[in-house]
């Protein structure tokens, strides 16, 4: 049986990545593609790499008959997403890729995003989409909130360690390096090739990046008390990829054993042999997350490094993984594409 899906916000990178993945999914059919600013165009005009696919033309959201849709992906910008989802049928299953439903607490949302949430009643309903930790809730969820790509990377590294008490939750530094596609297809001077190529820099330094809202929420919940990590993202001249280097306090072997046990049965999260460290190039274009653990020269200090593709495991791949669960499909369906290297 084929499930019909719609993608709202199909003209952005996460929309295109959803189409790329669903293109070889055996049990999903793209029944509608919406992008209000480009309605009327074909997907092949907006993304010529998808021109070979038989896809519906882009329409406005209003033109979609959601009665025909089994599941809807929302790849819309933040703030827009909450307004659109609020107006969608209340029985429509939705995977949202925006930041709008990641934070359950309206006050936390307002603190990090600066506005009062337009659909705060749905915030409570939404399930946080970090599949490996919310699997049961996602299976029965109506609305799943895709995680931040940085948050996903860091949470895969840190969540089991805090849950197990393997590290000191007050002494966590997470230094993250991400490729430029995470910023989307928006026209900003600092995203131009001439500005970015051959250079790199930190941004949102000092604990101001919005993904900290997710870290605070998730790590505090699992610790049972407030946890605030130090987090600095950096932009590097590459299109895809997140590499996060975590500096934690805890015994390296205990850290390694905790992570190995946590992901032993997971198809997509791979803990490398002790002492090996990951590279973004080895997960590019795939739904895998690689995690490595190394002991520091000073006892009691450990380095944990995680890598994933921000557009796949960090966003659209995660969304598809969650959609599979919501539609009672095998979780890995359509997601076992090999990484693309070189």
Residues 122-181 that bind a second copy (CB under 8 A): 173, 175, 177, 179-181
Any idea what DSSP says for residue 48?
G
Q: What angle do CA 263, 304, 129 make, to 5 degrees?
A: 50
Which C-beta is closer to a second copy: that of 189 or that of 265? Answer: 189
The count of other CB atoms within 10 Å of the CB of residue 218 is 23
Separation in Å, CA 110 to CA 61, 99, 288: 26, 12, 32
Query: Per the residue annotation, which of 74, 149, 178, 289 is the catalytic one?
Result: 149
Selected binder of a second copy within 27, 92, 236, 254 (CB under 8 A):
236
Which C-beta is closer to a second copy: that of 23 or that of 118? Answer: 23
Selected binder of a second copy within 78, 296, 300, 330 (CB under 8 A):
296
Which C-beta is closer to a second copy: that of 26 or that of 65? Answer: 26
Which C-beta is closer to a second copy: that of 107 or that of 341? Answer: 341
Which C-beta is closer to a second copy: that of 164 or that of 303? Answer: 303
The phi and psi torsions of 161 (rounded to 5 degrees) equal -70, -40
Which structure tokens are listed for 190?
A: 């600092």
Binding status of residue 294 toward a second copy by CB under 8 A: yes
Selected binder of a second copy within 47, 101, 113, 156 (CB under 8 A):
47
Q: Number of residues in contact with a second copy, rule: CB under 8 A?
A: 87
Which structure tokens are listed for 329?
A: 């499909």
The half-sphere exposure of 38 on its side-chain side, counting CA atoms within 13 A, is 17
At closest approach, how far in Å is the CB of 240 from a second copy? 7
Selection from 40, 46, 84 nearest residue 66 by Cα: 84
Sheet of strand 28-34: strand arrangement? 58-59, 28-34, 3-8, 71-74, 94-96, 143-145, 127-128
Selected binder of a second copy within 15, 148, 241, 314 (CB under 8 A):
241
At closest approach, how far in Å is the CB of 44 from a second copy? 9
> Does 74 qualify as catalytic in the annotation?
no
Binding status of residue 105 toward a second copy by CB under 8 A: no
Selected binder of a second copy within 51, 78, 124, 253 (CB under 8 A):
51
CA 260, CA 270: separation in Å to the nearest integer? 8
Catalytic center residues: 149
């Amino acid at each position: 049986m084929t499930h019909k899906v719609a993608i709202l916000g199909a003209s952005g990178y996460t929309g295109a990545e959803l189409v790329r993945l669903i293109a070889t999914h055996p049990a999903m059919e793209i029944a509608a593609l919406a992008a209000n600013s480009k309605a009327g165009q074909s997907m092949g005009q907006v993304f010529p790499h998808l021109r070979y696919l038989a896809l519906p033309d882009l329409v406005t959201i209003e033109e979609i008959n959601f009665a025909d849709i089994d599941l809807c992906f929302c790849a819309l910008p933040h703030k827009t997403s909450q307004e659109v989802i609020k107006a969608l049928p209340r029985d429509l299953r939705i995977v949202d890729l925006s930041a709008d439903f990641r934070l359950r607490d309206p006050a936390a949302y307002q603190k990090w995003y600066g506005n009062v949430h337009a659909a705060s009643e749905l915030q409570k309903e939404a399930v946080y989409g970090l599949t490996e930790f919310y699997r049961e809730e996602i299976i029965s969820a109506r609305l799943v909130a895709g995680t931040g790509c940085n948050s996903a990377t860091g949470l895969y590294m840190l969540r089991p360690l805090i849950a197990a008490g393997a590290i000191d939750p007050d002494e966590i530094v997470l230094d993250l390096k991400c490729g430029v596609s995470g910023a989307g297809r928006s026209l900003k001077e600092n995203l131009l090739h001439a500005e970015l190529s051959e250079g790199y820099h930190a941004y949102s330094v000092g604990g101001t990046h919005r993904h900290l809202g997710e870290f605070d929420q998730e790590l505090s919940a699992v610790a049972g008390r407030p946890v605030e990590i130090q987090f600095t993202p950096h932009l590097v001249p590459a299109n895809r990829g997140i590499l996060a280097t975590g500096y934690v306090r805890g015994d390296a072997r205990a850290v390694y054993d905790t992570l190995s046990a946590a992901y032993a049965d997971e198809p997509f999260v791979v803990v490398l042999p002790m002492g090996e460290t990951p590279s973004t190039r080895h997960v590019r274009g795939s739904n895998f997350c690689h995690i490595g653990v190394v002991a520091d020269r000073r006892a009691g200090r450990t380095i944990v490094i995680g890598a994933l593709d921000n557009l796949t495991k960090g966003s659209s791949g995660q969304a598809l993984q969650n959609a599979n669960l919501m539609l009672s499909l095998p979780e890995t369906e359509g997601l076992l594409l090999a990484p693309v290297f070189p």
